[in-house]
Structure 1
Amino acid sequence: MTDAGAAVPPVHERRYRAFISYSHADEGAAGRLHRWLETYRIPSRLVGAETARGKVGQRMVPIFRDRAELPAATSLGEEVKKALAASEALLVLCSPSAARSRWVDAEIALFRELHPDRPIIAAILEGDPAECFPPSLLVTDAHGEVHEPIAADFRSEQDGAKLARLKIVAGLTGLALDQIIQRDAQRQLRRVIAITLLALVMTLSMGLMLVFAIQAQREADHQRRQAEGLIEFMLTDLRQRLNGVGRLDVLDTVNRRAFAYYADQSDLDDLPVDSLERRARVLHAMGEDDHRQGEYDRALSEFREAERVTGTLLVADPDDPERIFNHAQSEFWLGYVVFSHRRYAEALPRFEAYLRLARRLVQMEPDNEKYLRELAYAQGNICSVVVAQNKRDARLSECGNALKTMEQVHAMVPEDAGVEADLANRHSWYSDALRLQKRYKEALAERQLQTGIALRMLERDPRNVSYEQNLMLARYSTAVLLNEMGEKDRASALLAQASAKLDALIAADPENMDWRKWRRKFDTPLTD
Structure 2
Amino acid sequence: MTRGGIQSGNGAAQRFAAFISYSHADAAIAAKLQRKLEQYRLPRHVAALHPEQSADIGRIFRDREDLAAAPSLTDAIRDALAAAEALIVICSPDARSSHWVSQEIELFRKLHPDRPVLAALVRGEPGEAFPPVLTEGGLEPLAADLRPEADGWSLGFLKIVAGIAGVPLDTLIQRDAQRRVRRVMWITAGALTAMLAMGIMTTLAISARNEAARQRAEAEGLVEYLITDLGSKLDGVGRLDVMDDVNARALRYYDDQTSGSLTADSLNRRARILHAVGEIDIKRGDFAAASRRLNMANAITSDLVKADPDNAEHRFANAQSVYWLGRIAVHQDSFDAARKYWNNYLNEARALARLQPNTARSFEEMGYAHGNLCELEFDQSSDAAKAEPDCVKSLALMEKAARSDPRNPKTILALANRQGWMADIFEVQGKLPKAVAQRHAEAATVEQLIARDPLNIEYIERANLPAIGLISLYLEQGDIRAAEAVLTPAITRIDAAIKRADDNPGLRIERLRLAYYHGEIDRKQGRNWRRRAAQSAELARQVEAQFGSGLRQRTTAFDAIKRQDGN
TM-score by length of 1: 0.49
Which structure would you say has the larger Rg?
2
Query: Normalising by structure 2, what TM-score?
Result: 0.46
User: Whose RCO is larger (CA < 8 A, sep 6+)?
Assistant: 1
